[in-house]
Structure 1
Amino acid sequence: MTQNFAATHLSNEQWAAVDAAIDQLAAALEPALVALSLDQRQRVVKMGDGSEAFCRTALDVIVENAELMPRNFDIDEMRRDLASHDALNTRVVRLTRLLEKAHHTDMALGSDAMVAALEGYTFLKAAGKHEGVDALKKLLGKRFEGNGRKAVVEPATV
């Protein structure tokens, strides 16, 4: 094979350990995770990078002026929301990086397999004449049906 981007492969036991770790992560996070509907995601007030500083400063100002706040304003809940946001965001960054590498590895593995399949198919087409693989070549060739150049259709003249 002329290409081998991903040469390390996990054993079934290692995949089982990965699955167990994902299950453990899901179980640990599940109590704190929420699912928002499409409508909620569109309507919710979002805290972006610029708004984050505003929220932190607002908390400081609110804490310093707690006596001006209505009794039902829960400063501690706001503090917990920001702390949980920070903690979750740290994990989201780590998971995003890991997921991106997983996507890259998936792409590399698929590419390695496709290149090997194409090389094998090319070899079978060239070397497999009269070797009893005609039906198999035809089966493999179905992948490429319809991939040729399209005939140019001239417009009819009236």
Structure 2
Amino acid sequence: MEDTRWKRFKLCGDYQVDMRSLYLAWSTSAGLEKWFLRKADFFTVPQRLRTADEQIAKEDTYTWYWHGYHNDVVQHGRILEANGQDFLKFSFTGDSIVSINLSTRNGLTITELEQTDIPQESDPTKNLLVQCQASWTFYLANLKSVMEGGKDLRNKRVELTSCFK
């Protein structure tokens, strides 16, 4: 039987914000750029660039740029699902898949992030599960900070990138 412990993980966060606002934070360029990315470009199937506040849709492609890195560090992928309300799924690093499921409980909006199909590495310094899990933990905390209080915790200085490697 195959060991799948290093191929997937799940993280959850609770937010004192309405589900619609949280969904838009995940599903628009403007939303993602507030807490996650320096620049998020989404393209429709005919390769039209979506506007900053336009929601993503299934089969869109994306090009993402990170704060703290030059433009040669870029993430390309595809939106696999987006229901416009509480669920989206996209391809990510190493051909893995990230699913975002939103729900409400006890007056809070819950974000459940699951990353699956993570390729295993023989070199522990390239362990994608550990790198992604640590990064997503930070970004979910930053999402909470930005959505609930307005404070952005990201490093936005390219000259400090080496401090975080």
TM over 0.5: no
Of Structure 1 and Structure 2, which has the larger fraction of its residues in strand? 2
Of Structure 1 and Structure 2, which has the larger fraction of its residues in helix? 1
Computing the radius of gyration from Cα coordinates, the structure with the larger value is 1
The TM-score, its normalising length taken from structure 1, stands at 0.24
The TM-score, its normalising length taken from structure 2, stands at 0.24
Higher relative CO (Cα under 8 Å, sequence separation at least 6) belongs to 1
